[in-house]
């Protein structure tokens, strides 16, 4: 898979949202900007709540020919008609997830800052590997996924790579030449105008 001229946007939902208002905000973003894929990333472990959100967001995404993946919940992918799953435990469950969901499903793996985990996930059948945070964040232990690792990955590894976590215009401008995707979520949803916020981040790619 050859990298596009500029990175594509992998849109991530907020960890919690109101099902009465968020679908309209999401639709506005999807209609205003080119989005490669949508990730449903809810913090709740309430199965009914996750399923309700997935049903509504799937309709919005699929109406626009945009794939939707769910974070972590492998068992919900086929049941809810989703396109795949975003795993958060590095390479650990990639192989068994690929076996469970089949060749057509999207299986992505978040590997933090570990190049080794990323390579292992790719070898196990991940469609993409995600590293982060790439920006400065007070969360976790402060370790960042460095630009050098993305540059190396883009040169050596064919599996598409995703940059995520604490993205701002400066970080996006720096990482744009060395990543295939930016996973963008809270960076825009915490702004009043998510459409404009995403527009500014896309413009920063140059």
pLDDT tens digits for range 1-50: 344 579 999 999 999 999 999 999 999 999 999 999 999 999 999 999 99
Q: What's the CATH code of the domain at 146? A: 3.20.20.70
Domain housing 24? 8-203
Stretch 118-128: mean pLDDT: 98
Query: How many whole angstroms separate alpha carbon 175 and alpha carbon 205?
Result: 8
Work out the mean pLDDT of the chain and round it to a whole number: 96
CA distance 55 to 66: 14
Mean pLDDT of all residues in 167-182 = 98
DSSP 116-171: HHHHHHHHTT-SEEEE---S--SSTTS----HHHHHHHHHH--S-EEEESS--HHH
pLDDT value of residue 2: 47
- The mean per-residue pLDDT over the stretch 138-166 comes to 93
3 belongs to a structural domain: no
User: Per the domain annotation, does 114 fall within a domain?
Assistant: yes
pLDDT at 141: 79
Domain membership flag for residue 1: no
Residue 144 in any domain: the answer is yes
In a domain, 59, yes or no: yes
- Three-state DSSP class for 196? helix
109-137 mean pLDDT: 97
- Return the pLDDT at 158: 97
Could you give the number of structural domains in the chain? 1
pLDDT category at 108 given cuts 50, 70, 90 is very high
182 part of a folded domain? yes
The predicted structure's pLDDT at residue 5: 77
Q: Tell me what pLDDT residue 110 has.
A: 98
Contact 135, 165 (CB under 8 A): yes
Q: Is residue 118 part of a domain?
A: yes
């Amino acid at each position: 898979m050859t990298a596009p001229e500029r990175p594509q946007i992998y849109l991530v939902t907020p960890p919690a949202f109101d099902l009465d208002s968020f679908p309209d905000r999401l639709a506005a973003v999807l209609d205003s900007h080119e989005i490669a894929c949508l990730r449903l990333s809810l913090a709740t472990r309430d199965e009914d709540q996750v399923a309700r959100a997935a049903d509504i967001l799937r309709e919005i995404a699929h109406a626009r020919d945009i794939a939707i993946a769910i974070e972590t919940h492998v068992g919900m992918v086929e049941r809810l008609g989703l396109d795949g799953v975003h795993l958060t435990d590095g390479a650990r469950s990639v192989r068994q997830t690929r076996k469970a969901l089949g060749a057509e499903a999207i299986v992505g793996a978040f590997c933090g800052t570990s190049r080794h985990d990323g390579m292992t996930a790719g070898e196990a059948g991940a469609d993409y590997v995600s590293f982060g945070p790439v920006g400065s964040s007070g969360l976790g232990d402060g370790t960042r996924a460095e630009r050098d690792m993305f540059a190396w990955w883009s040169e050596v590894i064919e599996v598409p790579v995703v940059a995520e976590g604490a993205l701002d215009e400066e970080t996006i401008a720096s990482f744009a030449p060395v990543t295939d995707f930016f996973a963008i979520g809270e960076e825009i949803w915490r702004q009043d105008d998510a459409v404009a916020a995403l527009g500014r981040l896309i413009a920063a790619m140059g």
